Amino acid sequence: MSTPLVAVITGASSGIGEATARRLAREPDAQLVLVARREELLRGLAETLPAACSWLALDLTDEDAPARVLAHVRERYGGRLTLLVNNAGAAWRGPFAEGGYANVRRTMTLNFDAPVRLTEALLPLLRECAPSAIVNVSSTAARVTRPGTGAYSASKFALTGWSDALYAEEHAHGVHVGTVFPGFIATEGFPARELLARPHTAWIVSTPDRVAEAIVEVGLGRRAERYVPRPYFLAAVARLLLPGLVRRTLTRGSAAILTTTTGAEAEAQTP
């Protein structure tokens, strides 16, 4: 994008969101809006960044959250917005027979409904400031799911499908829509020590900084999608070409190299 960067980043207080803020802050004349629940962390992060920053401490599932973000962008940046990073998300693990619809509902509310509602509120600004972009942070669990993560995968499947449709709809308006698919990401909430200690599993673990670079590639570079680590795209290919084998593998519990995001890791991405 050739226009000055004004970006809204959700889930910015830690993990992938924090790394994305630090990466985007290095862009020339960047102006960032950091959105998350924990004001103290947002303020501390903003004070360390080399870019002009503001922050909003709110819960994205609140009814008035999209309107508050919109009002903030209008007031502080004159309605200028060139990048929206929908990163905030969480997972509550457990089989459907135990968590039921209640678990599906709360997961969908944050991981799908919240980015859809926020995008709806900010889309007019993104159109006015085109070329602009939306990056939705999904998960490789949107391609291959496993026992105990059905609600999380459902929310990410939905986010991914909606992203593809939105890209087709907004392309003519100059708004690019792309998706990032993180796998296991080592964070404070998910240090991944056991995976990193074994040579045959260490390769499947990546870092928030690498996801942040993927977000920049997809958003500013206008790419369709990126997997992090890159070899995780093989999981999606296997699911399409060998669905029976993938199902049997997942059922046996040997799913580490095919899918992603434990509850602890996902919690590290919460707003």
Please report whether residue 1 resides in a domain: no
153: domain CATH number is 3.40.50.720
pLDDT (average), residues 224-250:
83
Using one digit for the tens of pLDDT, what is the confidence trace for 54-94? Answer: 999 999 999 999 999 999 999 999 999 999 999 999 989 89
Overall residue count recorded for the chain in this entry: 271
Domain presence at residue 145: yes
Could you say which DSSP state residue 78 is in?
T
Q: How many domains does the chain have?
A: 1
Asked whether 258 and 144 are in contact (CB, 8 A), the reply is yes
Q: What is the pLDDT of residue 253?
A: 56
Q: 42 in a domain, yes or no?
A: yes
- Cis amide bond preceding 131, omega within 30: yes
**Which range, 128-137, 179-188, 222-231, has the best average confidence (pLDDT)?**
128-137
- Torsion 102-16-265-11 (CA) sign: negative
Residue 11 has pLDDT above 70, yes or no: yes
Q: What is the pTM assigned to this prediction?
A: 0.88
Q: What is the pLDDT of residue 246?
A: 75
Closest CA to 141 of 262, 252, 242, 241: 262
Dump pLDDT digits (tens) for 28-43: 999 999 999 999 999 9
pLDDT of the residue at 187: 65
Is 94 contained in some domain? yes
Within 8 A by CB and 6+ apart from 5, the residues are: 24, 27, 28, 29, 30, 31, 82, 83, 220
Determine, yes or no, domain membership for 224. Answer: yes
Question: Could you tell me which residue, 201 or 104, shows the higher pLDDT?
Answer: 104
What is the average pLDDT score of the chain?
A: 88
What does the longest C-alpha to C-alpha distance in the chain come to?
55
Q: Does residue 116 belong to any structural domain of this protein? A: yes
CA separation (Å) from 241 to 146, 161, 237, 246?
Answer: 17, 19, 6, 9
Region 136-153 average pLDDT: 92
Q: Would 129 be classed as within a structural domain?
A: yes
pLDDT at site 200? 66
Q: Domain range holding 138?
A: 6-267
Confidence category of residue 244, pLDDT binned at 50, 70, 90: confident
Average pLDDT score over residue span 95-103: 95
Give the list of residues 6+ apart from residue 209 with CB closer than 8 angstroms, or none. Answer: 19, 23
Q: Is residue 103 part of a domain?
A: yes
Catalytic residues: 152
Predicted pLDDT of residue 192: 65
For the stretch 247-269, pLDDT in tens is 887 777 544 444 433 333 333 34
Percent of the chain residues topping a pLDDT of 90: 69
